[in-house]
Structure 1
Amino acid sequence: MAVSSLSLSLPSTSLSERRRLLLLGAGALASTIIPVNSVLAEGTPANYDSFTDLSDGYSYIYPSDWREYDYRGHDSAFKDRYLQLQNVRVSFIPTDKSDIHDMGPINKVVPYLLKNVLATPTQVADIFDMQERTTDGKNYYTFEYTLTSKNFSRAAFTTIAVANGRYYTLIVGANERRWRRVRDKLKIVADSFKVLDI
């Protein structure tokens, strides 16, 4: 039910009092309709900000000194002010699956994604870690890897999930030379990714 479709019969009060009552009512309605983001409920760690997209159904946290930018083909993206290769981005595509497990087991899905989706034909992919988690009844795969080409190497975490008829992908990474220094900071971002019911 949309807030605009509510019809309220208010007693004879001043215009400002009616506005206040309508806003209180809309706030109460929104608090029962909009799912609570457990990242926000638990609090955002120091030096991180949260990003929540209620219309597209996902949330995550990112380092607070990063800035939003437009990354072609992605729904949201943030990057380090000085090191542009340190960034996080989220995209999604439609799917008829209802859970990430419908895609297959993690040990089959991750190598397939790296070979056929995330890496170019000239890159060599190395997987370092694969983890499954369940948060608020939703299942996620998170994996750590490097993509190496002749002149360049990038390390990243990717978290994938399925919800709302969509296949979501969050990628957070950096230049491989800096990976040891920023890995733990970026793992927090990868682990914070959540899909929300829309």
Structure 2
Amino acid sequence: MTSLSAPGPHPLPRPLLRGVVAVLLALVLVGCSAAAAGLNRYQNPDGRFAFLYPTGWTRVQVSDGPQLVFHDLINSDETLSLVISDVKADGDLADLGSAVAVGERLRRAVIAPEGSGRQAELLQAEERDQDGRTFYDLEYSVHLGDRDRHELATVVVDRGRLYTFAASTNEIRWGKVKDLFHQVVTSFTLLV
């Protein structure tokens, strides 16, 4: 007996199907890792926080300064720093003020304090929510006597601590590294 119905789709031979699946899987994995290409992950030993930093950067020890500092081996004036300060134990970031208010306070007290010879302008201040936590993302233009710099920072409060994570470079390189710096600064996350 002959069937008059249209033939169904012809299945691909199994070896060809495996090859197609392997190629698709490879493309997905390459696409996922491209966003973090050239970045390494740092997680502090107690597992409290983590962030990404560029490949080719190294951690340096400093005294009487930030808890963590990384800098580029080639452009040594490009830096990442993390400052951890104590704040009211039961407070949150909003208790310190709006993004603009906190950004201005950071500008006056840390980036360009009176008598430092530096001038700074807060260019942008935005609030961002990540994993149920509020972050303030800040952007500054900084003038030092003989050169101009650009700085990005993010701040977050957790368990009585204010975390200020910042990336800085000279203004000449800003156009080349701004996307990378945005990715690095916004990668800062609290893990507990």
Deviations 1:86-125 (A, max 9, x none): 1111120111153211111112121121022221332221
- Pick aligned residue for 1:63 from 30, 54, 58: 54
Structure 1 equivalent of residue 133 of structure 2: 138
- Pick aligned residue for 1:80 from 65, 72, 92: 72
Percent identity between the two aligned chains: 25
Structure 2 equivalent of residue 46 of structure 1: 37
Q: SS of 1:172's equivalent? A: strand
Structure 2 equivalent of residue 110 of structure 1: 103
1:1-198 equivalences in 2 (<5 Å): 45-55=36-46, 57-72=48-63, 73-96=65-88, 97-121=90-114, 122-197=117-192
Note the aligned Cα RMSD (angstroms): 1.8
Structure 1 residues not aligned, in runs of 5+: 1-41
Deviations 1:43-68 (A, max 9, x none): 77111011111526211101112111
Moved more, 153-162 or 67-76: 67-76
Structure 2 equivalent of residue 35 of structure 1: none
Moved more, 111-120 or 173-182: 111-120
Shift of 1:169: 0.7
Structure 2 residues not aligned, in runs of 5+: 1-31
In our comparison, the structure showing a higher alpha carbon Rg is: 2
Shift of 1:174: 0.4
Q: Normalization by structure 2: what TM-score?
A: 0.75
